[in-house]
Amino acid sequence: MNVLVVGGAGYIGSHCVVQLVEAGHRPVVVDNLAFGHRGAVKDGVPFYEADLGDREAMAKILKDEQIDIVMHFAAFTYVGESVTEPLKYYRNNVGATLELIQAMVDTGVNKFIFSSTCATFGVVESLPIVETLPQSPINPYGQTKLDLENALRAITKTSDFSAAIFRYFNAAGAAEDGSIGEDHQPETHLIPLCFDAATGRRGALKVFGSDYPTPDGTCLRDYVHVDDLSRAHIAVFDKLGTPGTCVDYNLGTGNPSSVLEVINAVKEVTGLDVPYEMDDRREGDPPALYADSKKANEELGWVPKYNDITSLVASAWKWHKDHPKGYDDK
Ligand code: UDP
């Protein structure tokens, strides 16, 4: 398949590109490099520096590259920023994405894979989180993702367009060979921040909240490997062959770790101390979030290869220890 990977120079997109090549497909990358890194895209993979909201540019690439399927990884993802700058989030995550979909409709490309998030559920009443729970996001970021999910449900109902929606839990880890990995500017994610604290690139890690109703008082999250996420995107191709299909899957290991468990895994893997201090809760953080991925398992045969925090952290460390400044291109 010829697969357009929009946001293919970003963290999850770049890993998916590698998995696509390994599975015998032909990825083509589009990225505006606002957050992505040119160095994350391997040599030999066609690359276009363009914005997904540029409908004409997207239509031309879709036609020229004879694209069969589009994957969308190009969203803004900072929850805090989405609260202070909601328009930026609605314009990119909703407005620009709809331009991309219009370009697909205009050129007859009708298969779409959309990266959504567990943040579309908001504060849940039961765990683990199954696909059928009500979705009620508590910040503009989650709302923009839910808006797109709803648009896809409506569009697929009335056309031969087909879509797959994947809701990620906490994406983590890096490519097996350590050649690409996580590099966010600014970095807000727990595992890379632990590495920075351990290697002295930052001061002590602040643990956001130690009085949650969890076994050790810190938040529980479901860390899932980027390569496992990527494999689900490829496993869903068959489903998209039926016009008008819209499928959705929650992707996580179902095996959550607390912040303190992540810190301990980082200590164990790196052999370094991770200085940390207890801090106040971060606004908008639910105590526990973890997935029920039975549907992905039963319908796609999806089984995460990395399902313990130590192997995930070890994979992330393989990249980080050799690239402490990431791609160092910003
Ligand atoms: N966290 C923390 N200190 C930090 C960053 C994150 O204690 O400096 C906690 C955060 O409160 C959450 C977990 O680590 O419980 C994972 O946070 P991250 O930002 O990596 O992902 P999120 O769950 O917000 O998508």
Read off the pLDDT of residues 36-58 as tens digits, 9 standing for 90 and up.
999 999 999 999 999 999 999 99
Q: Tell me the sheet residues that pair with 250.
A: 167
Query: Is residue 220 within 8 Å of residue 214, measured between CB atoms?
Result: yes
Strands 220-221 and 257-258 turn out to be antiparallel
The strands making up 288-289's β-sheet, listed across from edge to edge, are 257-258, 220-221, 288-289
DSSP 8-state secondary structure symbol assigned to residue 8: T
Instruction: Read off the amino acid at residue 34.
Output: A
pLDDT band per the 50, 70, 90 thresholds, residue 286:
confident
How far is the C-alpha of 287 from the C-alpha of 80, rounded, in Å? 17
- Rounded Cα distance between 300 and 238, Å, is 9
The band of 133, judged by pLDDT with boundaries at 50, 70 and 90, is very high
Q: Is the pLDDT of residue 32 over 80?
A: yes
Residue nearest to atom 12 of ligand 1 (CA): 219
Instruction: Tell me the pLDDT band of 147, cut-offs 50, 70 and 90.
Output: very high
pLDDT per residue as tens digits for the range 173-210: 999 999 999 999 999 999 999 999 999 999 999 999 99
Q: Where are the alpha helices (DSSP H) in the chain?
A: 11-22, 55-64, 79-84, 86-89, 97-107, 140-157, 190-198, 226-235, 259-270, 294-300, 309-322
Is 141 tagged catalytic? yes
pLDDT band at 283 (very low <50, low <70, confident <90, very high): confident
Indicate the class that CATH gives domain 190-221+254-322: alpha beta
Give, using CA atoms, the residue closest to atom 4 of ligand 1. Answer: 190
Average pLDDT, the chain: 97
Average pLDDT (291-314) is 98
Give residue ranges with CB within 6 A of ligand 1: 170, 188-190, 193, 205-208, 219, 221, 259, 282, 285
Question: 62 CA to middle of ligand 1, Å?
Answer: 37
The reply to whether ipTM tops 0.90 is yes
Q: What is the pLDDT of residue 123?
A: 86
Distance 129 CA to ligand 1 centre (A): 18
Write out pLDDT tens, residues 49-95: 999 999 999 999 999 999 999 999 999 999 989 999 999 999 999 99
- Distance CA(254)–CA(294), nearest Å, equals 9
Residue carrying the six token digits 């319908």: 299
- pTM of the complete model beyond 0.95: yes
pLDDT at 219: 96
- Which CATH number does 2-172+223-251 carry? 3.40.50.720
CA distances from 191 to 187, 236, 278 (A): 10, 29, 16
H or E, element range at 171:
strand 170-172
The reply to whether 190-221+254-322 shares the fold of 2-172+223-251 is no
Give, using CA atoms, the residue closest to atom 16 of ligand 1: 190
The predicted-structure confidence for 224-274, as pLDDT tens digits, reads as follows 999 999 999 999 999 999 999 999 999 999 999 999 999 999 999 999 999
Domain boundary assignment for the chain = 2-172+223-251, 190-221+254-322
Does the pLDDT value for residue 277 go beyond 90? yes
